[in-house]
Amino acid sequence: MHEYEYDTGCNCNIGPTLDVDWRNNVSFATSSTDTMIYLSKIGETRPVKTFAGHQGEVNCVKWDPTGTLLASCSDDSTAKMWNVKQHSFVHDLRDHSKEIYTIRWSPTGPGTNNPNKPLTLASASFDSTVKIWDAELGKMLCNLNGHRDAVYSLAFSPNGEYIVSGSVDKSIHIWSLKEGKIVKTYTGAGGIFEVCWNKEGNKLAACFADNSVSVLDFRM
């Protein structure tokens, strides 16, 4: 029999909380339908920092690999990058034309296994595109246009050379970030709501709306 110790919860978001991501072992960020983002800490019953700037529901929050930058995306069609040392966003990413459902940081940059490659952010939108952004400049580096419907899921390969996207259009695309084009495609029987690489980067798992899960081999 196991015993569990529960920390006091934090009364943060006014509306339903849509996402949470740990910054480290003691602090985490949450996002909500109330358009706000809160940074909370274990043992504190109130948020230690609040990020305001989105005009719609904040669907996803993700810390970069070093916990320095926080990225968020919203129904307001924007993604934003935040630094805990500042009160307003560092970058406002506005090239999507519809709601942005999810975001992912690349496993690259200082403090990662790929320190010689720049840190980037990927965003997936209901406008059917995936966009890659420069984390330092906040500029769009690449527009990946190949899906026919909303893109719900993203994952970078462990070496940062590829990104996989899954869509309501029932297709999985694997993109070469160096070339900015699709190198592999898999079509299933339902929309794809999550994709994930294994640690070696030679297999992908994906879950579909038809209740199935597929594991795909990836060889280039």
Over residues 79-97, the pLDDT tens digits come to 999 998 888 899 999 999 9
158 is a domain residue: no
8 is a domain residue: no
CA-CA distance, 156 to 168, in Å (whole number)?
19
Query: Helix, strand, or coil here: 137?
Result: coil
Number of domains in the chain: 1
Q: How confident is the model at residue 11 (pLDDT cuts 50, 70, 90)?
A: low
> How is residue 165 written in tokens?
């996207």
Non-local (6+) Cβ contacts of 216 within 8 A are 172, 186, 203, 204, 205, 206
Strand partners, 83: 69
CA-CA distance, 126 to 137, in Å (whole number)?
24
CA-CA distance, 24 to 199, in Å (whole number)?
21
pTM of the entire structure? 0.92
189 is a domain residue: no
Q: Is the pLDDT of residue 137 over 90?
A: yes
Look over the chain and give the mean of its residue pLDDT values, rounded to a whole number. Answer: 93
Strand partners, 134: 120
Contact 123, 129 (CB under 8 A): no
- Among 155, 150, 189, CA closest to 175: 155
CATH number at residue 63: 2.130.10.10
CA-CA distance, 36 to 103, in Å (whole number)?
17
> How is residue 168 written in tokens?
């309501």
166 is a domain residue: no
Q: pLDDT tens digit string along 154-176? A: 999 999 999 999 999 999 999 99
CA-CA distance, 130 to 218, in Å (whole number)?
20
Contact 35, 56 (CB under 8 A): yes
Domain hosting residue 38, numbered range: 17-145
Count CB-CB contacts under 10 A for residue 187: 10
194 is a domain residue: no
Q: Is the pLDDT of residue 9 over 70?
A: no
Q: Kindly give the pairing relationship between strand 69-74 and strand 79-83.
A: antiparallel
CA-CA distance, 186 to 181, in Å (whole number)?
15
213 is a domain residue: no
